């Protein structure tokens, strides 16, 4: 038993509150606070629920998929202390509606998801990309490009490794309006290349250079992954970031 003079063990998830519970996943047990235990258990359950939703979508049973999502969110709302579930459910709802071809509703769902906030810039980029896809499906190509660029303009060097993944979307949306990728995005693409310790590919256009960068970095370790392997010896069995 911990003596009064000892500092309490902090939650391994939030690093803020005292760890009072144990959470086990994939054979690993962590000491967490009660609030984070709710978050982790809800997140794990949501991931499994999404597998059921995917099966319904594969059968084009979109209304049932939406009902399944709504029921899960309602059942677990009281445990959603940080809004993670509300944000995740809103994004999943947008995806279902888009796949169902209900693009106007998908746009509304994307706006709801954005209003709930983003944990980091990659969530904002994903939301902008989703919104752009629905606008594109409606033939509103300039709005689609504007929506994605507005989201992608939010940059954070901590997430530079995700930049190459989104570059082909920027190229595609630019091409759809009959214009080359704006040169203002070159430095962003270069930041993505730097994170993977590679040179920006030289092609006939910035757009083609971006596509080449996205392709060449698909299987490469990011800066964060390289640092983790250097610290942990690169051995198997650990949980890389």
Cβ pair 93, 127 in contact under 8 A: no
Q: How far apart are the first and last CA of the chain?
A: 32
Rounded alpha-carbon distances, angstroms, from residue 203 to 6, 110, 134: 60, 34, 30
3-class state of residue 23 by DSSP: strand
Distance CA 56, CA 66 (A): 9
C-alpha neighbours within 13 Å on the C-beta side of residue 163: 27
> 80 near 46, Cβ under 8 Å?
no
Output the average pLDDT for the chain: 93
Note the helical H segments in the chain.
34-58, 62-76, 84-99, 103-115, 121-137, 141-152, 163-176, 186-195, 206-216, 223-232
Task: Give the domain ranges of the chain.
Answer: 151-232
At 236 the pLDDT is 41
Return the percentage of the chain with pLDDT > 90, whole number: 85
Between the alpha carbon of residue 21 and those of residues 25, 68, 79, 133, the distances in Å are 13, 30, 15, 42
Has residue 29 got a pLDDT over 80? yes
Does residue 180 contact residue 194 with C-beta atoms inside 8 Å? Answer: no
> How confident is the model over 98-130, as pLDDT tens digits?
999 999 999 999 999 999 999 899 999 999 999
CB 190, CB 216: distance < 8 Å: no
Question: pLDDT tens digit string along 199-239?
Answer: 999 999 999 999 999 999 998 888 878 887 777 665 444 44
pLDDT at 240: 45
pLDDT at 241: 45
pLDDT digit string (tens) for 79-96?
A: 999 999 999 999 999 999
pLDDT digits (tens, 9 = 90+) for 55-75: 999 999 999 999 999 999 999
**Cα of 224 vs its chain's centroid, Å:** 17
């Amino acid at each position: 038993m911990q003596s009064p003079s000892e500092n309490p063990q902090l939650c391994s998830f939030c690093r803020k509150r005292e760890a009072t519970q144990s959470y086990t996943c994939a054979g690993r047990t962590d000491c967490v606070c009660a609030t984070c235990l709710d978050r982790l258990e809800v997140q794990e359950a949501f991931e499994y629920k999404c597998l059921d939703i995917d099966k319904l979508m594969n059968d084009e049973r979109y209304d049932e998929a939406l009902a399944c999502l709504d029921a899960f969110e309602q059942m677990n709302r009281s445990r959603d202390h940080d809004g993670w579930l509300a944000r995740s459910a809103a994004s999943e709802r947008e995806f279902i509606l888009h796949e169902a071809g209900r693009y106007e509703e998908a746009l509304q769902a994307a706006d709801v998801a954005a209003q709930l906030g983003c944990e980091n810039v990659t969530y904002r980029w994903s939301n902008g990309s989703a919104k752009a896809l629905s606008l594109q499906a409606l033939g509103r190509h300039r709005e689609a490009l504007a929506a994605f660029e507005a989201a992608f303009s939010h940059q954070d060097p901590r997430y530079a490794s995700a930049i190459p993944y989104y570059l082909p979307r920027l190229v595609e949306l630019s091409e759809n309006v009959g214009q080359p990728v704006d040169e203002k995005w070159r430095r962003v693409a270069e930041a993505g290349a730097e994170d993977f310790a590679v040179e920006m590919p030289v092609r006939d256009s910035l757009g083609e250079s971006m596509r080449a960068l996205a392709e060449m970095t698909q299987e490469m370790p990011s800066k964060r992954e390289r640092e983790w392997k250097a610290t942990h010896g690169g051995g198997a069995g650990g949980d890389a970031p």
